[in-house]
Amino acid sequence: MIRYALKCRNGHAFESWFASAAACDSLMAAHRVNCVECGDTQVEKAIMAPAVSLPAEPAAAAEHPLSAPQSRLEEALAALRREVEANSDYVGMNFAAEARAIHDGRAPERAIFGEARIDEARKLLEDGVPVAPLPFLPARKVN
């Protein structure tokens, strides 16, 4: 695996991992690499310093955990996640049934989040049940 610093023609900088340098070049040539901020497919490698690993002191590692947001976009997504998890009930794979029950008045009205197959979500929307995808996976599915 190799990590590259990338930038789009709109000036957005981001990083991505690739199986190899050749895989990166092939994907970029086919316009299969998208900017994480604007979706632009005109992406090129940016200048980056080599990664040099030094033994980290435990205190230093705790100050900068890998899970800490690294950009405004990541911070906004983390804030959205905190808001959703704090103010709604996780219903897991029962999302479609529970959303329909709430909409039909068979269950108490409340904010919920969970998981649904794409066909279930499409049917909810077709039936006028207000649902929207979230830009993150439930905590139990994050590596």
pLDDT digit string (tens) for 90-139?
999 999 999 999 999 999 999 999 999 999 999 999 999 999 998 887 77
Q: Quick one: pLDDT at residue 49?
A: 75
What is the residue whose two structure tokens read 């904010």? Answer: 111
The 10s digit of each residue's pLDDT in 10-63 is 999 998 999 898 999 999 999 999 998 899 999 999 988 776 666 655 555 556
d(CA 134, CA 114): 9
Q: Is the pLDDT of residue 9 over 90?
A: yes
Q: Quick one: pLDDT at residue 50?
A: 73
Q: Is the pLDDT of residue 83 over 70?
A: yes
d(CA 21, CA 15): 14
| Stated length of the chain | 143
CA dihedral (135, 136, 138, 139) positive or negative: negative
pLDDT: is 66 or 86 the higher one? 86
Q: Is the pLDDT of residue 66 over 80?
A: no
Q: Quick one: pLDDT at residue 56?
A: 58
pTM of the model: 0.51
CA-closest candidate to residue 99, choices 128, 64, 68, 135: 128
